[in-house]
Amino acid sequence: STVLHAEALAKTYAEGKLRTPVFDGLELSVSAGETVAIVGASGAGKSTLLHLLGGLDTPTAGEVYVAGKKMSALSDAARGKLRNEALGFIYQFHHLLPEFTALENVMLPVLLNGTTVPDATSRAKALLEAVGLGQRLEHKPGELSGGERQRAAVARALVNRPACVLGDEPTGNLDEKTAAHVFELMLDLNRAHKTSLVMVTHDRRLARRLDRVLELHEGKLRELAPEEV
């Protein structure tokens, strides 16, 4: 089944008289459990695409379907609910709330679903243990290392068992060794839960590990053959 589908997707940024067409007529389908890398030069529109897929921005034309639901047909509240339940987000910077502990940060998306505190606590704990942060539950982001913060962000992205995780350079802010570790962990967890992954990366070594590599170039998505990656 298809968890994420973009149809005839177009985006043009307009600021006053300045118009920046990024792409027009993009098609993308991601099936359950599939992992997809999006590569391309800086400014090609990778972040724009990810924002549209995640419902963080609205397309100029075309449609995005998340878990079969047409995003543009939903109210803001319903779209927010779908994003929280069906998608997980990991960014280059962790975006953990600084005043909250690792456990509280990971519990938050679960509580937003209306899950009880004991259930949210046990699910958040289990995921933090899975990412190797079982001994860091009460640490605030400022008390964690960079790799630990990204691992907490991975736990937060997965805690609602989303159909798909969207990652924008999720390991881009880490040194090479830590990045490789966090990436492997994310991939293992995604595979274990059959969660799809769409990840923007400039790191071809990471891209190569995913099922498909798509290059965004001059407004078009093209699948790269393994030897091109």
DSSP 137-190: TT--GGGS-HHHHHHHHHHHHHTT--SEEEEESTTTTS-HHHHHHHHHHHHHHH
Q: Does 13 bind ligand ADP (CB under 6 A)?
A: yes
Q: Does 20 bind ligand ADP (CB under 6 A)?
A: yes
Contact (Cβ atoms closer than 8 angstroms) between residue 87 and residue 163: yes
Q: Does 175 bind ligand ADP (CB under 6 A)?
A: no
Tell me the window of 46-54, 105-113, 181-189, 218-226 that interacts with ligand ADP (CB under 6 A). 46-54
The closest alpha carbon to 148, from 202, 201, 101, belongs to: 101
Least distance to ligand ADP, CB of residue 195, Å: 23
Q: For ligand ADP, which residue of 44, 127, 128, 185 counts as binding (CB under 6 A)?
A: 44
Q: Of residues 23-42, which lie at the interface with ligand ADP (CB under 6 A)? A: 40, 42
Q: For ligand ADP, which residue of 19, 27, 43, 69 counts as binding (CB under 6 A)?
A: 43
Which 3 state secondary structure label does DSSP give 59?
Answer: coil
Least distance to ligand ADP, CB of residue 125, Å: 17
Q: Does 46 bind ligand ADP (CB under 6 A)?
A: yes
Q: How far is CA 150 from CA 31, 61, 172, 190, in A?
A: 26, 34, 10, 15
Between strands 196-200 and 35-39, the pairing is parallel
Q: Compute the distance between CA of residue 220 and CA of residue 142 in angstroms, rounded to an integer.
A: 40
Q: Which is nearer to ligand ADP, 163 or 203 (CB)?
A: 203
Tell me, letter by letter, the H, E, C secondary structure of 80-147: HHHHHHHEEEECCCCCCCCCCCHHHHHHHHHHHCCCCHHHHHHHHHHHHHHCCCCCCCCCCHHHCCHH
Q: Of residues 93-152, which lie at the interface with ligand ADP (CB under 6 A)? A: 136, 139, 143-145, 147-148
Q: Which is nearer to ligand ADP, 96 or 163 (CB)?
A: 96
Q: For ligand ADP, which residue of 3, 6, 39, 48 counts as binding (CB under 6 A)?
A: 48
Least distance to ligand ADP, CB of residue 193, Å: 25
Least distance to ligand ADP, CB of residue 6, Å: 14
Contact (Cβ atoms closer than 8 angstroms) between residue 30 and residue 221: no
Q: Compute the distance between CA of residue 112 and CA of residue 210 in angstroms, rounded to an integer.
A: 31
Q: For ligand ADP, which residue of 35, 39, 47, 158 counts as binding (CB under 6 A)?
A: 47
Q: For ligand ADP, which residue of 4, 9, 22, 52 counts as binding (CB under 6 A)?
A: 22
Point out which residues bind ligand ADP (CB under 6 A). 13, 15, 20, 22, 40, 42-48, 136, 139, 143-145, 147-148
